């Protein structure tokens, strides 16, 4: 009888402890703005921007989007040929740019982290860097990720993205890349070295800086709703 009673008491305390501890972390959530795709895996199509959203202001010569004075800075270490990066861009980042970057809440920084296993990742990164120097980063980044599976096999990047980037613009970017190849390679290497220093071992890897503190998110891409939930939490602090 006594062991049975002891066991019941043990089970009671076990359940009570778990419920009490997990319950203490439950806080009311405020609504994340525009989470139309309130599901775990939004469709792999571009989601419409909110009507009020303006194009992200890309600083000339930088791989950034949004306002530098935004309360939150998000750095994304990416490889243009990595499928997880492509998926993250299509399902989360596009919507995130519309709702948080274009609205001045988040300053988004792209960091190059081309992986050795992807033979055309550096070629794509060079094109994106050249575009960034010409203030065209967002257009080229979008074109690269939108058509990733088309150029990934053969590396015919320019041929594939020609449908998304006007020919004159593309020629300008290509000429700029050829003329500044050393600086561009150095810029990619700087980003990569920064990633290595931060122990980045997969892409995409995201770092969020808010209230003077930088946190690394689990690598491999993040669902939009979870990411927006975290950003909303930071904005509430």
Partner 1 sequence: MATTSAVVSETQPQTRAWPRVLLALGRVVLGAIFLYAAYAKLHFNGSWHLRDYYFFFGMAINSYNLLPLWAVELLSRFMPWFELALGFFLVIGIGLRLTSLIASALLLVFIAAMTRAYILGLEIVCGCFGNTEKLGPWTLTRDSSMLVLALAVALGAFLINRRRTAVSS
Q: Quick one: DSSP state of residue 209?
A: E
CB atoms within 10 A of CB 186: 11
Min CB(41)–partner 1 separation in Å: 7
**Which CB atom, from 8 or from 68, has the smaller least distance to partner 1?**
8
Min CB(141)–partner 1 separation in Å: 21
Min CB(62)–partner 1 separation in Å: 26
Cβ contacts of 157 within 8 Å, gap of 6 or more: 120, 123, 124, 127, 144, 151
**Which CB atom, from 85 or from 173, has the smaller least distance to partner 1?**
85
**Which CB atom, from 104 or from 220, has the smaller least distance to partner 1?**
220
Min CB(18)–partner 1 separation in Å: 5
What span, in angstroms and rounded, lies between the C-alpha atoms of 20 and 25?
9
Min CB(59)–partner 1 separation in Å: 28
Sites of contact with partner 1 (CB under 8 A): 6-7, 10-11, 13-14, 17-18, 21-22, 25-27, 38-41, 84, 199, 201-202, 213-223, 225-227, 229-230, 233
**Which CB atom, from 86 or from 132, has the smaller least distance to partner 1?**
86
What span, in angstroms and rounded, lies between the C-alpha atoms of 128 and 135?
10
Residue 219 — φ and ψ, nearest 5°? -70, 160
**Which CB atom, from 40 or from 163, has the smaller least distance to partner 1?**
40
Coil, strand or helix at 170: helix
What is the pairing mode between strands 72-78 and 106-112? Answer: parallel
Q: Quick one: DSSP state of residue 26?
A: -
């Amino acid at each position: 009888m006594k062991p049975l009673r002891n066991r019941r008491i043990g089970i009671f305390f076990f359940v009570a402890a778990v419920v009490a501890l997990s319950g203490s972390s439950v806080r009311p959530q405020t609504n994340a703005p525009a989470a139309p795709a309130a599901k775990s895996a939004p469709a792999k199509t571009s989601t419409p921007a909110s009507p009020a959203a303006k194009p992200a202001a890309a600083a000339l010569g930088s791989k950034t989007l949004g306002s530098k004075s935004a309360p939150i800075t998000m750095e994304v270490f990416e490889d243009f040929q990595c499928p997880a990066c492509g998926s993250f861009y299509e399902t989360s980042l596009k919507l995130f740019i519309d709702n948080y970057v274009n609205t001045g809440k988040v300053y988004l920084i792209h960091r190059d982290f081309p992986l050795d296993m992807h033979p055309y990742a550096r070629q794509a990164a060079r094109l994106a860097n050249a575009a960034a120097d010409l203030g065209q980063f967002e257009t080229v980044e979008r074109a690269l990720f939108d058509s990733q599976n088309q150029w990934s096999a053969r590396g015919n990047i320019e041929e594939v993205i020609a449908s998304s980037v006007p020919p004159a613009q593309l020629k300008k970017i290509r000429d700029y890349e050829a003329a500044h190849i050393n600086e561009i390679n150095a810029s990619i290497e700087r980003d990569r070295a920064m990633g290595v220093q931060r122990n980045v071992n997969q892409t995409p890897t995201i770092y969020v800086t808010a209230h003077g503190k930088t946190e690394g998110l689990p690598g491999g891409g993040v669902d939009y709703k979870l990411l927006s939930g975290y950003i909303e939490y930071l904005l509430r602090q």
